[in-house]
Structure 1
Amino acid sequence: MSKATTGHRICCFGDSLVNGVRDGEKGGWPMRLGRRLLGEAKRETTIYNLGIRAETTEGLKARWKFEAELRMVAEFPSLLLFSFGVNDANHAEDRGEETTMRVSPAKSAVNAAEIIGEASKLAPTLWIGPQAVIDGGKSSQEINERLEGLNQIYLETARGFDVPYLDLLGTTLADEIWQRALRRGDGYHPDKTGYDRLADLIWDWNDWQKAVGLID
């Protein structure tokens, strides 16, 4: 008989960096968290990877609640994880030297507040901030600059709803493991090593460990 303890049902929402694009092991950081919960904490947690490639906050706000409620069962504790922003900051149009964001900072702020505000009423919620793209040429530098602005907006939004927020932008911009993994990937998505690194950063986050009952 298994000695594992039944754990949470965890819904992980976001884009391709949640989904695990270019991950040789498939499943991205949600799969790794689930594996560690079973292997190290002996918790038979159900992890739902609900990342959609190229999705912005516009798409996410239209679907997340319906998908979450389908997976929530009264007998088991639920946890909602969100990570988004890179696609909002990505280039929508290119007019020579000028580019526009796929979702403006103002609209992204409104969408994020709508998503996180409603989620925090539905179930315990954690918010993982956007990760930096490759620290390279003009195009990626511009995306990282936009992400700095969104990250500050998201931080304030999280504080307003009293939702734990893991700020990863500065860490991933400076972290050589992450940046090397992006170079082996496509500049936006890391290879396996990058997802390993991201899972480690989330696993070591106190608010994650509290949410799943690993610490008080």
Structure 2
Amino acid sequence: MTEGVTGHRICCFGDSLVNGVRDAEKGGWPMRLGRRLINEAKREATIYNLGIRAETSEGLKARWKFEAELRMVPEFPTILMFSFGVNDANHAEDRGEETTMRVSPGKSATNAAEIIGEASKLAPTLWIGPQAVIDGGKSSKDINERLEGLNQIYGETARGFGVPYLDVHATTLTDQDWQRALRRGDGYHPDRAGYDRLAELIWDWDGWRNAVGFG
């Protein structure tokens, strides 16, 4: 394991879709990327899965930098990866209103800009856009419409900071493998096959491949 840049420390921040809820293999897409780096690419890497279930951009903003700096050492290159937004777009449970987001689009945009702007100064940063929830009834359609709006805002924010952004919302909304995996899960989290699919999308992405030295 000596070819190219080795010893990456990769911090993966986000919510339950980063953490790997409903994944029978545990670990979600970060675990899969780490396994492929070691087994297929023969690269040394340490993957930190720092996803927290139900976390919004508000919670992520408060914690990510402290957690990242604990894991950064001069001897090893660090990559910071982020994926969030589904909980921002979810219904505000405390009010019981399906028309109210947990985090407003404006606040989510502000949080995202603060997180990504600061992260991009600290280390190479990658951003995976929010994944679609199940394409089902009115409740999930409302969330997917909100996610489409956030996805556009996030993509513009990423371009502004020069951060690679993987737009997966439209893909996961129409991809039958992802949608079937959501049906086997709980509508928000896929089963194992869904995490396989998401990891594949990230693995083939130029942003990821360039960051780890495949480009």
Please classify the TM superposition score into its range, dividing by the shorter chain length: over 0.9
Q: Which residue of the partner structure matches residue 174 of structure 2? A: 174
CA displacement, residues 79-132 of structure 1 (integer Å, 9 cap, x when unaligned):
00000000000000334xx52000000000000000000000000000000000
Question: Cα–Cα, structure 1 residues 21 and 211, in superposed 2: closer, same or farther, change >3 Å?
Answer: same
CA displacement, residues 165-193 of structure 1 (integer Å, 9 cap, x when unaligned):
00000000000000000000000000000
Q: Which residue of the partner structure matches residue 110 of structure 2? A: 110
Displacement of 1:207 in angstroms is 1.0
Q: In the aligned structure 2, how far is the partner of 1:20 from the partner of 1:124?
A: 23
Q: Which residue of the partner structure matches residue 146 of structure 2? A: 146
Superposition map of 1:30-41 within 5 A:
30-41=30-41
Superposition map of 1:148-163 within 5 A:
148-163=148-163
| Corresponding residue SS for 2:96 | strand
Q: In the aligned structure 2, how far is the partner of 1:164 from the partner of 1:83?
A: 12
Q: Which residue of the partner structure matches residue 184 of structure 2? A: 184
Aligned residues: CA RMSD? 0.9
Q: In the aligned structure 1, how far is the partner of 2:2 from the partner of 2:77?
A: 16
CA displacement, residues 45-76 of structure 1 (integer Å, 9 cap, x when unaligned):
00000000000000000000000000001000
Displacement of 1:7 in angstroms is 2.6
Alpha carbons 1:17, 1:189 under 8 Å: kept: yes
Q: In the aligned structure 1, how far is the partner of 2:163 from the partner of 2:146?
A: 23
User: Where in structure 1 do 4 or more consecutive aligned residues deviate above 4 Å?
Assistant: none
In the comparison of the two structures, how many residue pairs are matched? 211
Q: Percent identity, aligned pairs only? A: 83
| Corresponding residue SS for 1:49 | strand
TM-score, normalised via structure 1 length: 0.96
Letter in 1 for 2:203: W
Q: In the aligned structure 1, how far is the partner of 2:195 from the partner of 2:96?
A: 30
| Corresponding residue SS for 2:76 | coil
Alpha carbons 1:41, 1:214 under 8 Å: kept: no
Letter in 2 for 1:26: K
Q: In the aligned structure 1, how far is the partner of 2:163 from the partner of 2:10?
A: 16
Displacement of 1:4 in angstroms is 5.5
Q: Which residue of the partner structure matches residue 87 of structure 1? A: 87
| Corresponding residue SS for 1:214 | coil
Q: In the aligned structure 1, how far is the partner of 2:170 from the partner of 2:78?
A: 30
Displacement of 1:214 in angstroms is 1.3
- Structure 1: give runs of 5+ residues left out of the alignment: none
